[in-house]
Structure 1
Amino acid sequence: MDNGRRGKDLRIGDPERERAMRLLGEHFSAGRLDVGEYDERCQQAAAARYSSELDALFDDLPEPRPSNPPVPTAPAARPNPAAGKIVLAICAAALIIFLIVVARQLGLALMLPLVALIWFTWRR
């Protein structure tokens, strides 16, 4: 049942097969494989059960290879929620000043709902 595999050869799953086919596509688009070779190697990758079978498909190709997993990247930084509150406060202050200076009487009437909206938004 060894089938000529050496050492500890691990079974692979669909994600590894898909990654190998994606990498073969990169080599195909770079001109390293012709259509026939690409098709044949993709069929072999789809039928592969062990990592050594995938590695054999890349023996004559340069990097990238499926045996070298991609380096994980750090997750994207999430914006600080306090910064959003500061922007909201600045915009609200500018709107209040605009309403008082330009609209005067109407501005004062509109300012009460605006202050209530800011108050409830700020408390969240």
Structure 2
Amino acid sequence: MDSGRRGKDLRIGDPERERAMRLLGEHFSAGRLELAEYDERCRQAAAARFGSELDGLFDDLPGPLPSGELTPAATRNTPSPAKIAMAVGAVVALLALVLVARQIGLILLIPALAIIFFTWRRR
């Protein structure tokens, strides 16, 4: 159900809070915030539930607002086309190995799957 909230008054999650704290850290590094201000704003960002609460932390700071740039689609990790091609090629090679060299293919299947898994997870 829609309670009439629109735009920046939508609920936020951890990725939005983390982005706001990262932006606050950049302002702190640039000397725009003192340590006490930075600490207080980070606490408020960690406790924020709505985008408008995060935007209020940046009212007197230059630059983009944290809620203005982060969308749910931007938070998803999508594999690159190279990773997809590698995975498809590896599956085809493993199937060919199992079909052609039956017993040795089955023995080599487990280490090959482990290599593929750890290569896929590496960023």
- Aligned partners of 2:46 and 2:17: how far apart in 1? 6
- Aligned partners of 1:32 and 1:77: how far apart in 2? 41
Moved over 6 A (4+): none
Offset, 1:63: 0.2
1:27-70: CA deviations, max 9, x gaps? 00000000000000000000000000000000000003203316
TM norm structure 2: 0.51
Instruction: Report the identity percentage.
Output: 73
Residue 17 (structure 1) aligns with: 17
Contact map agreement 2:16 2:67 (CA 8 A) in 1:
no
Offset, 1:7: 5.2
Residue 57 (structure 2) aligns with: 57
Residue 83 (structure 1) aligns with: none
Residue 38 (structure 1) aligns with: 38
Residue 66 (structure 2) aligns with: 66
Larger Rg: 1
Number of residue pairs matched? 73
| 3-state DSSP of counterpart to 1:60 | coil
TM norm structure 1: 0.51
Letter in 1 for 2:44: Q
Q: Which residues of 2 match residues 1-124 of structure 1 at below 5 A?
A: 8=6, 9-69=9-69
Instruction: Answer 1 or 2: which has greater helix percent.
Output: 2
Offset, 1:77: 8.7
Letter in 2 for 1:41: R
- Aligned partners of 2:17 and 2:45: how far apart in 1? 6
Alignment root-mean-square deviation, CA: 2.6
